[in-house]
Structure 1
């Protein structure tokens, strides 16, 4: 599906007078100027949602553009369109687009980044977003353990720090049953402490941390255990706590 979406997006860009060349992209208006993927995203991604087609087709086209460019700005325009007066976007198509790309062997960095900063940090959307990309599926991940599902779970857990603890804790506890997810769970706990909008309950997070089977040289495990044992919830709400943990554990 992703290849099909990308080809549709490539044809759409061609209709806008934009084509790919060695080293970047060019437009018919300035054929001698090579554009970066980021420049293409900033100049044309918003136009996808002005197309006179069904909203579902707009979303698929936007994801196809994301497949071509792997630029965060495309996901930003998706989020803006969902929150616009014409929104929300069709939820089934929107979240299926995210799930497909989170499962793909070729990871798109912009996908996880957009979940983190646009959907998970905003508590008006984080509960739904987390449920759609992992929370509602975690039992299937545990039962199936296919590579695509494990990839998706790993990528979501690693950027889940801003999601409210009460929302993500049941998923974290279920994910404990899959050893292949333990390193991603650790990253989730670590960012839950360090992220500006990170959220955790120290005692519950400590209990999870102590059940993770991690490599002996896992960086920051001791420091995280130190701050959680002391009851700290967040790096930014406990000035000096992390630095003290680093000194204590060095």
Structure 2
């Protein structure tokens, strides 16, 4: 390490870019390297750390131990602290990539949704809300069963609504209009929930995605105003 680097005060983002990748060169087994990376994520709270985890998982020495990887995500999704770096990582890296989205969604919510609804612990509900809200890019056939189960629990209705809204608006969002509308109609939401009427309008018209139906949302806004 140069004296220049020692004398420079780095931001958390700069530390992440400079050192997060080095975790996977440490003389540790892959599981402990991954645990160390998650510790660095907790310390820095920077999305780039999750990028290095993904790079290591896909690299020549990968894949990383799946139990440690997804335990790490689940633990941070359940924690009573900001999880933006983790949810952003799920959204743009794991969920937008259809080669990983099925496994990722199953690991962070799909496999556990029945337990979430049965146990209703604050930690499990927190994880479910966070995953549902960023699940727009996940294929509809993958996430619909979890959405249907989540509808059974009123505490998750707002998160399901936000998931449906993201499924329509996200560039890579995916939904089936009739099935999504049926779910939307089961949600107990305040009548004046922002974008509720517009979402119902576009789904009833059979639109799957904002970007596939240019103008549909604007038409819904005009019709619902």
TM-score by length of 1: 0.88
1:159 & 1:151 partners in 2: Cα distance?
13
Aligned length: 225
What CA deviation, in whole Å up to 9, does each residue of 1:34-78 have, x standing for no partner?
211101001101111111210000110010000001100000111
Kindly report which structure 2 residues correspond to 1:26-65, keeping only aligned pairs within 5 A, or say none: 29-65=4-40
Secondary structure in 1 matching 2:13:
helix
Distance 2:132 2:3 in 1: 42
Q: Does 1:155 align with 2:130?
A: yes
Map of 1:106 onto structure 2: 81
1:233 aligns with 2:197: no
Q: Distance in 1 between matches of 2:127 and 2:82?
A: 10
Q: After the TM superposition, which residues 153-232 of structure 1 pair with which residues of structure 2 at under 5 Å, given as runs?
A: 153-232=128-207
Alignment correspondent of 2:223:
248
Partner SS, residue 111 of structure 2: helix
Structure 1 residue 247, shift from structure 2 partner: 1.1
Alignment of 1:76-91 (within 5 A): 76-91=51-66
**C-alpha distance in structure 1 between counterparts of 2:31 and 2:4, whole Å:** 30
Secondary structure at 2:98 match in 1: coil
Between 213-222 and 31-40, report the one with greater CA deviation.
31-40
Q: Any gaps of 5 or more consecutive residues in structure 2? A: none
Q: Which runs of 5+ in 1 are unaligned?
A: 1-16, 18-26
CA displacement, residues 118-169 of structure 1 (integer Å, 9 cap, x when unaligned): 0000000000000000000001001100000000000000000000000100
Aligned-pair CA distance for 1:87: 0.6
What are the within-5 Å matches in structure 2 for residues 94-133 of structure 1? 94-133=69-108
CA distance in 2: counterparts of 1:28 and 1:139, whole angstroms: 55
Would you tell me which structure has more strand in proportion to its own residues?
Answer: 1
TM-superposed CA distance for 1:31, in Å, is 4.4
Superposition misfits of 4+ residues, deviation over 4 angstroms: none
* Local SS of the residue matching 2:9: strand
Answer yes or no: is 1:135 the counterpart of 2:110: yes
